[in-house]
Structure formats: C-alpha cells, structure tokens
C-alpha cells in the first residue's frame, strides 16, 4: 500500500529566488504554484504546533528533522484554528502514523487545510543553503522550473508587510473552557491580551495567573484600559514589526499605566514603543533548542524561538537587557522597571519546546499583584 500511494504522488519542485532547485514529490494540497518566504525549523517534534503557529504566516516551513509526521496529528495540539503558513517542506513524511492520540496523518491534515507541501527534499542541503544565503522567496508545486522561478522572484516576503492583520481576531473573546484554569479565575486578576497571532499554549499559561480577554491587534489603548485590566499582554505574531507603527503607538499609551508583558513580536513592539528599532535576521531563529543567558542570574535557559527580526542593540535607551542569545548575541529580553514593562524574544510557553522559562508568567502575576 505504501509503495502504491507513493507512486500516485506527482513530481514537484522547490525553487528558491536565487535559482536553487530541489526535486521532490507533492504532498498536502497539490497545486501548480505556491509561494512564500522559506525558513527552516530545527524542532525534533511538535510539527503540528509549528504548522499551526500563526507566526509562520507568509512563510514556507522546511523541517530539518528528517522524519515528520511519525505520531500523526491531534486536535488538542493545535496552536490556532488553522495553519497560516504557505507550505511545508520535509525530507520524508510518514504515511502511517503510530500514536493512540492520532486523529489523522499530517498529510491528511495538510490536505484538509489546503496547505501545499513537498517531500523527498534534501533538507540538509536546503538548510545549509538558507544559512549561507539567508531566508528568501521561494515557490513550490507541480509547475515547471521556469514558472516556479518567476514566482519565487516575485514573492515579496515578510519585510515591510503587515501580516498581523491576516492572523488577528476581529472581535474580542474569552479563551475556551478547554484552555481556562480555575487558578486564574480565583486570582482576581484580569489581563487584556492583544492578539497579534496568539498561540493556544500562551492562553493556557495566561489563564493560570488571571482571567483573560483577547482583543484585536488594532484595539486602541483607551478601549483596553476601559476593561480595567491589572495587566496587558502583547502576543507573538508574524512578520516585520517595522510595519506596525499604529500598534506601537497604542502600546506606548499603556506604558506606566498597567504592567505590560510581551512575547516575540509583542516584545519587539514593546521595544519599539520604548524607542528601540528592529532589524531583519539573516535566516531567523526557528526551533526549540536555542540557549539564552538570563543576565540577572547567569542561568542558561534552553528556549523555543520563532522570529525573523530582532531588537537593534544600539537603539536601546533606558531599557535593561535581561536575556541574551548565546549563539549570536541577539537581545532576547528587555525590561523597564519604572514602567512595569518587560518582554522576551523567545517563547517561554514553548509549544513545542522546553519549559525552562515558564517562570516569566509567574513574574507577570507578581507584577500585577504588586500594582493592584
């Protein structure tokens, strides 16, 4: 059966904007052409959480781990209502997953959500190419090489694009009962969470410390404060923070009024509201194994990360650097104690990844309790 199914797959190509070509077979939603910005992720597991992370909007995800789909997919592991990535690239996709929680295979999941993919790719060669040349536009599908190359070169990527508008909720909502915790309801604390592409695992952690209401990314600061929150959370999200001036302006109006905690894009926007700039990383940080040093204690945390931009060190004025990436020195955390504001570039909630930094949610709780 496996051999027969593989014979039914159509030949496909992955073509990068610089002309590099990779041969494989189409999986998921079979399309002539799909485009996006190609990035690689180094997680060994958690592929479903990666694919459903809204922070990948506009991007094609190449997994460095060779066997993807081994344990299938489960509705409980989704980080959002649907995938926002443009495509998936793997070395070998598992056709017959083995896990008691599996509801369907990864390929069935991709088909259902109309996400194209390609298997049989030499992902080691691809990863080395991206590391050397940087993230860039790509095209994958069953079309010919000439058509795919033209599409890859026409792909605009994420720079200067407001991708938050694509992934954010349009109406305020409270997390589903499946994500809520009695601890948060009993705390008496209230958090307004800005949705720039918020993950379900973040909501699970936030609801352990407070009652949470999620609001659209464009919510004015005045409307957020009308809810009388004890704190405001700024979520992760996709794309270039430099394209979000309107959001940074509103965040600036929150500073000093209530405690503010930002993760990933939320951290970058918080830094922008404090006057810092951002820059594009060559190939980004995408994976679950990045070492980060906590400056205060010298402790090294192994962290989950997913971002293509970072805070410019020379632009920081008055903020304290709290965390630093040990691989390349990227700023991983900032704080302004006088404004009761702090943020981290990485993902303390994991999903997937290690839990070394979950203490940050408790620090947010403590800051809100001190500010009551």
Active site residues: 264, 347, 349
Element (H, E) at 54: none
Long-range pairs for 95-101: beta carbons < 8 A, 24 or more residues apart: 95/2, 95/5, 95/6, 95/69, 96/2, 97/69, 97/70, 97/71, 97/72, 97/73, 98/70, 98/71, 98/72, 99/70, 99/71, 99/72, 99/74, 101/71, 101/72, 101/74, 101/76
Element (H, E) at 367: helix 359-370
Tokens of 126: 């691809």
Alpha-carbon radius of gyration of the chain: 20
Element (H, E) at 131: helix 123-133
135 and 58 Cβ atoms separated by less than 8 Å: no
191 and 168 Cβ atoms separated by less than 8 Å: no
What are the DSSP calls for 197-266, one per residue?
Answer: S--HHHHHHHTTTSEEEEEETT--HHHHHTT--SEEEE----S-GGG-HHHHHHHHTTTTTS-EEEETHH
Work out whether the CA dihedral 356, 53, 262, 58 comes out positive or negative. Answer: positive
Query: How far, in Å, CA of 191 to CA of 206, rounded?
Result: 8
What contacts 165, CB < 8 A, 6 or more positions away?
Answer: 217
Query: How far, in Å, CA of 246 to CA of 199, rounded?
Result: 22
Nearest residue to 90 (alpha-carbon basis) of 107, 116, 67: 67
Partners of residue 287 on adjacent β-strands: 305
- Classify residue 319 by burial, with Cβ atoms within 10 Å: 0-12, 13-18, 19+: buried
Count the Cβ atoms, other than its own, within 10 Å of residue 100.
7
């Amino acid at each position: 059966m496996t051999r027969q199914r593989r014979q039914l797959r159509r030949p496909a190509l992955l073509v990068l904007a610089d002309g590099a070509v990779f041969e494989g077979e189409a999986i998921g939603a079979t399309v002539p052409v799909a485009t996006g910005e190609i990035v690689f992720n180094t997680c060994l597991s958690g592929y479903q959480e990666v694919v459903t992370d809204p922070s990948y909007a506009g991007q094609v995800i190449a997994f460095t781990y060779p066997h993807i789909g081994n344990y299938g997919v489960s509705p409980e592991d989704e980080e959002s209502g649907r995938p926002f990535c443009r495509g998936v690239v793997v070395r070998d996709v598992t056709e017959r997953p083995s896990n008691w929680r599996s509801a369907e295979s990864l390929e069935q999941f991709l088909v259902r959500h109309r996400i194209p993919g390609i298997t049989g790719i030499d992902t080691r060669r691809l990863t080395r190419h991206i590391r050397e040349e940087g993230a860039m536009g790509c095209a994958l599908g069953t079309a010919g090489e000439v058509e795919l190359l033209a599409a890859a070169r026409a792909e605009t990527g994420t720079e200067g694009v407001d991708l938050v508008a694509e992934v954010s909720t349009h109406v305020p909502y409270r997390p589903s009962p499946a994500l809520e915790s009695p601890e948060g309801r009993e705390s008496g604390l209230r958090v307004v969470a800005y949705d720039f592409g918020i993950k379900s695992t973040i909501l699970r952690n936030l609801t352990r410390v407070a009652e949470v209401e999620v609001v659209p990314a464009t919510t004015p600061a005045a409307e957020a404060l009308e809810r009388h929150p004890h704190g405001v959370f700024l979520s992760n999200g996709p794309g270039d923070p430099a394209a979000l001036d309107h959001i940074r302006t509103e965040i600036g109006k929150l500073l000093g009024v209530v405690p503010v905690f930002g993760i990933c894009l939320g951290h970058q926007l918080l830094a922008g509201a404090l006057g810092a700039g951002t820059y594009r990383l060559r190939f980004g940080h995408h994976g679950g194994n990045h070492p980060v040093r906590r400056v205060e204690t010298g402790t090294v945390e192994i962290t989950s990360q997913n971002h293509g931009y970072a805070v410019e060190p020379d632009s920081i004025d008055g903020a304290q650097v709290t965390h630093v990436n040990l691989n390349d020195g990227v700023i991983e955390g900032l704080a302004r104690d006088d404004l009761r504001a702090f943020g981290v570039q990485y993902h303390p909630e994991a999903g997937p990844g290690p839990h070394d930094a979950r203490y940050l949610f408790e620090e947010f709780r403590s800051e809100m309790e001190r500010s009551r």
